[in-house]
Chains A and B, each alone.
Chain A
Amino acid sequence: DADVTQTPRNRITKTGKRIMLECSQTKGHDRMYWYRQDPGLGLQLIYYSFDVKDINKGEISDGYSVSRQAQAKFSLSLESAIPNQTALYFCATSVGDNYGYTFGSGTRLTVV
């Protein structure tokens, strides 16, 4: 099994729908992150969490919300999906400062 699992892998949804992307990890890392990737724009940070009670906005949090249900689970919600939220979404984990991230396999989201 993968260390960082994202579900679903692919999702097509309609404009205005609420959708949740889920991330779970078996690495035991406290820190978890949600990024989106658009062609030519690199990875942009949406939200991050350093423990269950710590949630922080990233660069592009508008239109998104998150929930840290447990140390191992971090979910991303789009309250009312819009077409420009069509992107590849990645969850990542880290053990602490000065360490790199481990990424999940990604969720390709299409909003029509």
Chain B
Amino acid sequence: QKEVEQNSGPLSVPEGAIASLNCTYSDRVSQSFFWYRQYSGKSPELIMSIYSNGDKEDGRFTAQLNKASQYVSLLIRDSQPSDSATYLCAVNRMDSSYKLIFGSGTRLLVRP
């Protein structure tokens, strides 16, 4: 089992719809959760962080965390073609030192 799992997609949604991206993780003691957006050939860009159970909203983005289910999600409201990218979920691993483990990403395609 991978430490951080994401469906590779592509997830295709029409413009204006809500895109829902999901991520599960295996380490129960993880404390920090991040969503990155990566355009093709570009570097990952941090868009959301979440540390507590529940929802966190920032503009059109909402991150949701459920530690009991080891599940974190990202909702994108009013999806735009410019949101088309790969979204990476990252979770901290708490072994000898703090580091982030990344999922392989979900590719989102927003259709005009």
Contact = CB atoms under 8 A, between A and B. Distances in A.
A90 B88 CA distance: 14
Given A42-B88, A97-B92, A98-B92, 20 more contacts: A33-B99, A35-B102, A40-B104, A41-B104, A42-B4, A42-B102, A42-B103, A43-B44, A45-B99, A50-B97, A56-B97, A90-B43, A90-B44, A96-B98, A100-B34, A100-B36, A100-B90, A100-B100, A103-B44, A105-B43
Interface in B1-54: 4, 8, 31-32, 34, 36, 41-46, 49, 51
Contact of B43 (A48, A98, A100, A103): A103
A103 B90 CA distance: 13
Given A50-B97, A98-B31, A40 B8 contact: yes
B28 to A, nearest CB: 17
Interface residues of B, number: 26
Nearest to A40: B104
Nearest to B47: A100
A35 B46 CA distance: 16
B42 A106 contact: yes
Contact of B99 (A40, A48, A108): A48
Nearest to A102: B46
Interface of A: 33, 35, 40-43, 45, 48, 50, 56, 58, 88, 90, 96-106, 108
Contacts of A106: 42-43
Contacts of A96: 98
13 contacts: A33-B99, A41-B104, A56-B97, A90-B44, A97-B98, A98-B92, A99-B32, A100-B46, A100-B49, A101-B44, A102-B46, A103-B44, A106-B43
Contact of A43 (B97, B98, B102): B102
B51 A98 contact: yes
Nearest to A39: B104
